[in-house]
Amino acid sequence: MQLPVTPAADWITSRAALDQWLAAVPADAALDLDTEFMRRNTFYPQLALLQLGWNDRYALVDPLAFSIGDALRPLLGDIRAMTVMHSASEDLESLAPLLPQGPATLFDTQIAAAFVGLGLGLSYRALVAEFVGVELDKGETRSDWLQRPLTESQRAYATLDVVYLTPIREQLAERLLQRGRAAWHHEDCERLKRRSCGRESDPQPQENFRGAAEWKPGQQALLRRILLWRDRTARTLDRPRPWLLEDALVMNLAQQPPRLASDLEQRTRGQRALRGPQRHELFDLIAAPVSDQEIAETTSIAGSPQGDEKKSLAAMKDVVDRTAQELDLPPGLLCARKTLEEFVVTRRWPTALEGWRDGILRQPLTSLLSG
């Protein structure tokens, strides 16, 4: 295994320099892209560094020095261009203010690796070792990317994050074509873009709280109301949701609503972003009666499979495992267990199984529903 050689990278601290660097990249280029971001005490990830690579040219763009604005959109928004990234979910989220729809064409190397039989969730470091024979250092993984100036070690680490994307992408693309999986990969990249770039809140966040599945409809509606308030307020304050209300506290407040403002204050002490104005607003929110319309608009929380549902779930899991083996895909890529549980309990075809998975799984899984 070889040690990496870090090529020179332009350090870009102005819009003019970024525009000049991008001007040399043709409209049909495959542009390698990565980001470094921080998310310790904010709701939204803070973009700290943007790494670009094309045709053995590399750039480290400092978003703290100037406003990148729409500089990336003409190129990355062009359907002729391809943006190559690894495990792009959080990177796309950090870029969402600059690229609200994400790049027009995304090639995610982690997703591609899963489609060609290399396993689910493979790291960039592992792909570099597999395809290039180079061992990367993990020393700056937890680095402070908001500090300035960046150290030489940080700059080298960041540059190497895009240096090997081209040879990895070229080999993965060839294997995808050989297996006839290029269209499936493209579809999953599009799905990733929609999920990661969307900055709207989940309209039914209570569905993720299975511990409340047996609650009465009115309690579930109140739980949803509190969760929507928490999400909306966290976005406004740009603070992590748990800093306002931890999950366990949300459940407690919905199940046993405080009767007095002093009770709410006592129970919410220690919540780092919850101040007087937010407490008053939250108390009024909880105290308001739950209407029939609000109950009707609240999707019932699906519980865990019970009785015959467990048998159906086990049979479905066997189908997914066998099918995945036949297709040489990780079972988790084809269908996650959580998705099967959702289908068994709600009997509604999951959105996660739309697209290419539908034609493979709908008939065999639907036939196994109990009752």
- Token pair of 125, please? 């470091």
Number of other CB atoms surrounding residue 364 within 10 Å: 14
SS3 of 281-320: HHHHHHHCCCCHHHHHCCCCCCCCCCCHHHHHHHHHHHHH
Q: What is the pTM of this model?
A: 0.92
- CB 145, CB 94: distance < 8 Å: no
Residue with tokens 């549902």: 309
Average pLDDT on 309-326 reads: 96
Helix intervals (H) in 238-272: 241-244, 247-255, 261-267
Report the pLDDT value the prediction gives residue 183, as an integer from 0 to 100: 97
pLDDT in tens, 346-369: 999 999 999 999 999 999 999 999
Range from 119-123, 193-197, 273-277, 289-293 carrying the lowest mean pLDDT: 193-197
Residue 264 has pLDDT above 80, yes or no: yes
When pLDDT is cut at 50, 70 and 90, the band that residue 112 belongs to is: very high
CB half-sphere exposure, 362, CA atoms < 13 A:
12
Average pLDDT on 267-289 reads: 96
- Token pair of 49, please? 């560094």
Residue-by-residue DSSP string for 164-230: THHHHHHHHHHHHHHHT-HHHHHHHHHHHHHHHH--SPPS-GGGG-GGGTTS-HHHHHHHHHHHHHH
Residue 174 has pLDDT above 90, yes or no: yes
DSSP 3-state of 107: strand
Report the pLDDT value the prediction gives residue 45, as an integer from 0 to 100: 93
- CB 341, CB 313: distance < 8 Å: yes
Interstrand relation of 30-38 and 82-85 (parallel, antiparallel or unpaired): parallel
pLDDT in tens, 181-200: 999 999 999 999 998 887 67
When pLDDT is cut at 50, 70 and 90, the band that residue 371 belongs to is: low
Cβ within 8 Å of residue 80, ≥6 positions away = 27, 28
> Burial, 13: exposed, middle or buried (Cβ in 10 Å; 0-12, 13-18, 19+)?
middle
pLDDT in tens, 42-61: 999 999 999 999 999 999 99
- CB 21, CB 52: distance < 8 Å: yes
Average pLDDT on 282-289 reads: 97
When pLDDT is cut at 50, 70 and 90, the band that residue 140 belongs to is: confident
- Cis omega (within 30 of 0) on the bond before 149? yes
Average pLDDT on 166-182 reads: 98
Helices (H) and strands (E) in the chain, counts: 18, 6
